[in-house]
Amino acid sequence: MIMKDIKPHTLNIIKDSRSITKKIMEEMSVKMNESIAELRQTSLSGRTRGIAWRKSQLRAILNLLNENENRIFEALHEDLGKHPAEAFRDEVGVLIKSVNHALSNIEKWAAPKKASIPLVFFPAKGQVLPEPLGTVLVISSWNFPISLSLEPVIGAISAGNTVVLKPSELAPACSALLAEKIPLYMDGKAIRVIEGGSEVSEKLIQQKWGKIFFTGSSRVGRLIMSAAAQHLTPVTLELGGKCPVILDSLSGLDLKLAIKRIIAAKWGPCGGQACISSDYVLVEQRFASIAVELLKKFIKKFYGDNLKNLKYLSRIVNQHHFNRIHKLLQDPGVAASIVYGGSLDEENMMIEPTILLDPPLDAEIMTEEIFGPLLPIITLERIEDSIEFIRGRPSPLVIYAFTRSESIKQKILSGTSSGAVAFNDTMIQFLCEGLPFGGVGQSGFGRYHGKYSFDTFSHEKAVMYGSYFPEIEPRYPPWNDFKMEFIRLAYSLNIFGLLLLLLGIKRRSRSNH
């Protein structure tokens, strides 16, 4: 249909609708700008720099979590079908632990750190002073819509910033809950939630921020970087990638534990819709059948063996992602490689845990992040070949490796690039505040968790306290041989040589003549 075929009355309705939409967007833009301006004013006032304010807001997050736990569970079930145990493990409990860690350490993190100053400048003193970046933007993702919204906010508040949080519109129940509850618990002049879709995100990233913190896809990450470049805004991108599992030829209890932990990292976090989910497994050919049989056994034990009766497995977030994963399985070479599962329930947005043995390496399932409940098994002649296999692909967010071989561990560490490496376990590196979480290359850049979150949202300001005495005259012209030699010795930190020079004992370098 072309415009001339549309009746005048219909055209008027379309024009009126567009006019209304435009007006709504303009009003939304005005309110957004007013909110951001107020947050900037709060930041400039210095109120958020005080440790007492920071602690009060962290405690407010604790209260929000504790007093609304059941509401959070309901929202997560509505958006993603998460079981309360999974919801507490991945969304609530992890935040409680993070807040308590920040409360216990915030004074130490925020305190000035003594910095060394060359003795030649004595009695000058130096320090590094962490200061907030100002007003920051946090854009979170839909797969962990509570924890990945509030975890960066914890770091931003700990560092003394004001914050705009943009939750994912793809988890609407959780987004609405955050928008409702955060103003009731937290300082409304310093922390705001702005809801909306891609058009809201687009307007937000055009603003000037102290920092943009984004969790999501590499496609959107590129758009954010491009927009941030206009204002030279620093950006942290938490993306993803195809996280491999290297499964060495283990036996007995070691093998069973490895298989259980691989399953936990594949289907445990949001049904495989997680950036740190195990994306594929590398095993030796002679060992593949054993691994597959054990995977089948424990999948049935954990989740059931019938698509209609699956338990404890999150559903696919929406029709778009369901169709995307379905398309992966429709590739003839991929379909032929299915050795377990493969059934789909479109009505309930469920996809059965699926194992594939040696799908084509050029198929989309092996070139793009799966982000779903499909697990390819790739066979190799030797497990050592896994190093080259991983190295030939973009750097993943994490490499999981199950092996007792110290030689293989060292080869993985020295021969591959990744955001993290976890030996003989999965996922728990994410829960360790002492370890930075973040990617490298296409899996993202920047880091957070614990002190690293504080650092991510802070600027480390160099401070030097100089003295009027003594004066170092050789730094000023007119130049002569003595001053040249003094500068040479000073840059070499040769204090003894400087003393000899000042006493007139040390001969000047011939190079000065």
* Cα–Cα distances in angstroms (integers) from residue 247 to residues 255, 311, 359, 388, in the given order: 9, 27, 18, 15
* Cα–Cα distances in angstroms (integers) from residue 338 to residues 49, 313, 469, in the given order: 56, 20, 78
Per annotation, catalytic residue among 174, 243, 270, 275: 275
Nearest partner of 420 among 444, 447, 438, judged by Cα: 438
> How many alpha carbons fall within 13 Å on the CB side of residue 326?
14
**CA–CA distance, 9 with 112 (Å, rounded to integer):** 69
Per annotation, catalytic residue among 86, 91, 151, 238: 238
Structural contact between residues 448 and 108, judged by C-beta atoms closer than 8 angstroms: no
**CA–CA distance, 487 with 309 (Å, rounded to integer):** 79
Element (DSSP H or E) covering residue 410: helix 406-415
Nearest partner of 102 among 174, 166, 150, judged by Cα: 150
190 burial type by CB count under 10 A (0-12 exposed, 13-18 middle, 19+ buried): buried
User: Is 238 a residue of the active site?
Assistant: yes
**CA–CA distance, 468 with 456 (Å, rounded to integer):** 36
* Cα–Cα distances in angstroms (integers) from residue 71 to residues 78, 146, 179, 358, 443, in the given order: 10, 12, 13, 43, 33
User: Is 275 a residue of the active site?
Assistant: yes
Which residues have CB under 8 Å from 71's CB, separation 6+? 177, 181
Nearest partner of 233 among 273, 256, 200, 205, judged by Cα: 205
Q: Which residues are catalytic?
A: 238, 275
